[in-house]
Amino acid sequence: MQQQDRNPEQELDSLFQSYRAASPEPEASARFTPLLWERIEANRSFTFSMRRWTQTVVTAAAALCALMAILLFTPREPAALYAATYVEVLSDAQAPDVLAYVDFEQGELGNR
Amino acid sequence: MLVEFDLIQRAQSGDDGAFNQIVLAYRKRILGTITRLIGRPEDVEDVGQEVFLRLYFSLDQLRTPEVFEPWLYRLTVNAAYDYLRRQRRRNEPRMADLSEQQVIMADAAAGGELDQETQRRTKLREYVQELLGGVPEQDRILLMLKEVEGLTLKELEKIYKVNENALKVRLFRARQRVLKAFESSQKAKAGSAE
């Protein structure tokens, strides 16, 4: 009979309430707040240093980009070499006998 | 709320004295919640400081007074969860994982130095933590906020930013697991008593 009267849900609720009552409400130690502020200060300095380093890197990168843009888009005198076309450059570079067709003797190819 | 919103606004604008008053007002409540969530008294202050540290650097995100306490609870839950995850990664076995205080208490109990009430409370806390051991950490924290801390579903909705029905489902499942473990342990006790 006693088993049937038991309500596990209610017993579990009661257990949770007892757990709450059995758990101490801790008092913070005297060092709690000073240590907290130490951590806040440490975090602040770290964040400040990171921000300054990031700003330096971004500024340097922006300056480098600007310099490269200036160098790339500054008009220059074209080199004499590049005034010619590709074919003209090739023909100037090669000796005439290299470019000449090689005449085959009729017999060499086996023609009859 | 334990503080006026004016104090929070002053803390937001950089008044460290105002932030200090907020810490003093909420410290005991937050440390109590953390104690019940993580179960290791010697780490409670460290986790508590982490909560207030995160609060300090996130204060500027608060716009209205109603969200302050849910926000603080959210930070508490996250810090507790991060702590429990770190503990799990260290692979500390639960049954052998006695905190320093528990070791001292075990020694004292063996020597008969602790009063019965303290022993009863310690056993009760260990028993409940064992029952909750079968529930995943996130759901365990949620269940404890509801059943032990006594937060309402509306309050939990604000903390978790999840709708009430989704919370009810998770709570129901977590509670069923604990209930199953509870009933098994009760049967085992009844069996050994016979």
Q: Is the pLDDT of residue A94 over 80?
A: no
**B143 within 8 A of B174, measured Cβ to Cβ:** yes
Residues of A contacting chain B (CB within 8 angstroms)? 8-9, 11-13, 15-16, 18-20, 22-29, 32-33, 35-37, 39-40, 43
From the list A8, A20, A36, which residue is nearest B183 (CB)? A8
Give the lowest-confidence range in B70-84, B106-120, B176-190: B106-120
Contact B49 A16 (CB under 8 A): no
Work out the pLDDT band at B145, boundaries 50, 70, 90.
very high
- Any residues with CB less than 8 A from the CB of B193 and at least 6 apart, and which? none
Q: Is the pLDDT of residue A105 over 90?
A: no
Q: Enumerate the H helices of A23-85 as residue ranges.
A: 32-73
* pLDDT tens sequence across B17-59: 999 999 999 999 999 999 888 878 889 999 999 999 999 999 9
More confident position, A99 or A28: A28
* pLDDT tens sequence across B56-97: 999 988 888 788 999 999 999 999 999 988 887 775 554 445
Q: Which two tokens stand for residue B128?
A: 């409940």
Q: How many residues does the structure list for chain A?
A: 112
Q: What is the mean pLDDT of residues B1-6?
A: 87
**pLDDT at site A81:** 55
- Closest CA of chain B from A45, distance in Å: 13
- What residues of chain B lie within 8 A of the CB of A36, using their CB? 23, 49, 52-53
DSSP per-residue string spanning B81-101: HHHHHHHHHTT--TTT---HH
Residue A75, SS3 per DSSP? coil
Q: In whole angstroms, give the CA distance from residue B80 to residue B141.
A: 8
Contact A22 B27 (CB under 8 A): no
- What residues of chain B lie within 8 A of the CB of A19, using their CB? 36, 124-125, 128, 148
* pLDDT tens sequence across A21-56: 888 778 889 899 999 999 999 988 877 778 888 888
Task: Name the E strands within chain B.
Answer: none
Q: Which two tokens stand for residue B94?
A: 């639960």
Q: What is the mean pLDDT of residues A69-74?
A: 87
Share of chain A above pLDDT 90, in %: 30
**pLDDT at site A1:** 45
User: Residue B110 carries which side chain, given as an amino acid letter?
Assistant: A
Contact B53 A43 (CB under 8 A): yes
Q: Which two tokens stand for residue B140?
A: 């365990």
